Amino acid sequence: MEQQDLRSMDLAEMTSLLKELGQPAFRARQLFTWVHQKQVSQLAQMHNLGRQLLEQLEQRCQPTAFQLERKQVSADGTEKFLFRLADGNYIECVLMRYRGDLSKQRNTLCISSQVGCAMGCTFCATGQSGFVRNLTAGEIISQVYEVNRILQEEGDAMPVGNVVFMGMGEPLLNLSAVLKTISLLNDPQGQKMGIRRMTVSTCGVVPKLLELADQKLDVVLAVSLHAPNDKQRSSVMPVNRQYPLEQLMAACRYYQQQTGNRISFEYALITGFNDQPQHVQQLKQLLKGLDCHLNIIPVNPVANTAQFGRPDKKQVAAFVEALQQAGLKASVLEEKGTDIDGACGQLRGKVLREK
């Protein structure tokens, strides 16, 4: 019998499992508390379940197997973690510590939803490595639980309070596991993480974006835009050939109608590519009528992307000012971890090459 992953299970699934084992419903609530509130990783730590039940669970279940392979620490305090999964694959997550310099104090974790990525965006380290498989809900949420454990060991009293599904992979192509993770993190008997403290990113998989809209969740939506016209966007983001900007913008408007939430658009600024005055005007026309905010991100230098020049601070500031003068809400995204292979997929790629 294939063992079930406890960290992938919600309370209803645990209740069903415990019923099969002849246990009362309150045992399921105890189990859920151990797994999703106390975030324990070993059945032996669940001391109030009784020896007989623990033996039954050991035969049927196991928590997600996670092993910290490598950790990098930036000068700004950002930490990147490379975890090894049970099947030998690697995933990354990035802890960003905000301590009131430009924003409220919080620990934000950027987490992965897939091993690799099928989208093939040309300036993305993960996209260069190809797609391996989807992560389970247990593997996604374990990134939060394991980083919380590390924070506790380091004496940081502030657990992860914000989660961004913007690590390795396209979250909407693993939507069921992502939605389950959101539900588990939000559960009042678990981490009680506010739904508005979770951000789901997408490069523009239109059918799945419409599906997410119909969920009417109060999560933050971040759409990777990176170019204001189809020709340029298709040249760096292959997904645009299947779902061009007209379809993507229609899906964004539908999302906004369904949820009433403002949309964030991520825009990687590339010198001489998408930073000219005509691009400002194209963005103004493209985003007309949408309640949205543009996050301008100087492009991250990654392997095999020498053609993508990173603009200096003066160029970035001038572009943001031009956007604002055009009536668009825009700001420079506070960068973290650029000195530690901060872009998603870089550390995994380095370790795979070493091995």
Catalytic center residues: 92, 344
CA distance 115 to 170: 10
- What DSSP state is assigned to residue 300? P
Beta strands in 6-105 (DSSP E): 61-62, 66-73, 79-85, 90-98
Return the structure tokens found at 355. Answer: 């091995």
Query: In the chain, which ranges are continuous DSSP H helix?
Result: 11-20, 25-32, 51-60, 125-129, 137-154, 175-186, 206-215, 230-236, 239-242, 245-259, 277-286, 313-325, 346-354
CB 330 within 8 A of CB 323: yes
Count how many Cα atoms sit within 13 Å of the Cα of residue 268 in the half-sphere of its side chain.
Answer: 21
Task: Check if the beta carbon of residue 227 is closer than 8 Å to that of residue 233.
Answer: yes
